[in-house]
Amino acid sequence: MNLVSTEALAQNPANYLPVDCRFSLAEPEQGEQLYAQGHIPGARYAHLDRHLSSPITAITGRHPLPDFAKLTEQLGAWGIDENAHVVAYDDQSGFFASRLWWLLRTLGHHRVSVLDGGIQAWQALDQPLTAELPKIRPVPFTPVLDRQAWKDVDALQFCLAENSCLLIDARTRERFAGIEEPIDPVAGHIPGAVNMPITENLDNRGCFLPATALRDHYRALMGDMQPEQVVHSCGSGVFACHGILAMEIAGLHGSKLYPGSWSEWIRSPERPVATL
């Protein structure tokens, strides 16, 4: 179950362990401040920079994959074990929550969903928020790391050269084309990539489109490629997880993440850049 509805969470709160993933790239502490003011009862808070990423280095993108040993410890400290059904949520239609969803699955924990519509959908049902911190009993979290869930930059360059993968860039069409670049120092996209902005995974309420619509969207891009040949990219490897989630909802299983994404790719002047 990759998505959980607000109705399901509200009716059966004891069945789920919510994790608040709200975050702002412009104001990195905003999400934690919002959590302190009010969150879904029982929710823990996962900070994108501190918990779900590693520190930036001279060769990485803006949100490198976390140290999996440290993340494993943190998951146990949050009370997440093999029996916990985690529900990740944010206030951006799952753009940040999907990072935790992907990380948990990559660590072998498949009892994880994203709250469809996020905290806005929760509030639209007049469900309560609380500032009370949850009482947590730490538990052991046993990871089973799937190293095939992502491709590093060398593996990506190889498969692009061999035409054995399809790279889907989740950024806006303006950023993909190189018309504008509000975050990174170089504009454009990785040569050979196709563009599928993650906003196109959503309806006008900020909920995911039906599985059939998502399948049609991605199948139109994929051509003869199989789902496991698809690699997702964005600016820093966070929002790209939304595309992986959309494909899983669509029944197109096994697509991969390029964690470094555009912000890593442009670290080397030897890597080519394309614009439209």
Catalytic residues: 234
Give the pLDDT score at 105: 98
Query: CA angle, 36 as apex, 32 and 39 as ends, to 5°?
Result: 95
pLDDT of residue 1: 87
In this prediction, residues 134-142 reach a mean pLDDT of 96
Radius of gyration of the chain (CA): 18
87 sits in which H/E element: strand 86-89
Burial tier of 172 (Cβ tally within 10 Å: 0-12, 13-18, 19+) = middle
Look up tokens 């935790």; give the residue.
Answer: 100
Q: What is the pLDDT of residues 50-86, one digit of tens each?
A: 999 999 999 999 999 999 999 999 999 999 999 999 9
pTM of the shown model: 0.97
Conformation bin of residue 265: beta by default, left when phi > 0, alpha when psi is -120 to 50: alpha
pLDDT, tens only, 154-170: 999 999 999 999 999 99
Specify the pLDDT at position 101.
98
Q: Does 197 have pLDDT greater than 90?
A: yes
How large is the average pLDDT for residues 35-48? 98
Q: How far apart are CA 261 and CA 259, in angstroms?
A: 6
% of the chain at pLDDT higher than 70: 100
Q: What is the pLDDT of residues 233-242, one digit of tens each?
A: 999 999 999 9
Q: Is the pLDDT of residue 30 over 90?
A: yes
End-to-end CA distance of the chain: 38
Residue 274's pLDDT is: 96
Whether the Cβ atoms of residue 65 and residue 83 lie closer than 8 Å to each other: no
Q: What percent of the chain has pLDDT over 90?
A: 99
Q: Which residues pair with 115 in a beta bridge?
A: 4
CA distances from 226 to 86, 105, 154, 269 (A): 29, 20, 21, 31
pLDDT tens, position by position, 96-125: 999 999 999 999 999 999 999 999 999 999
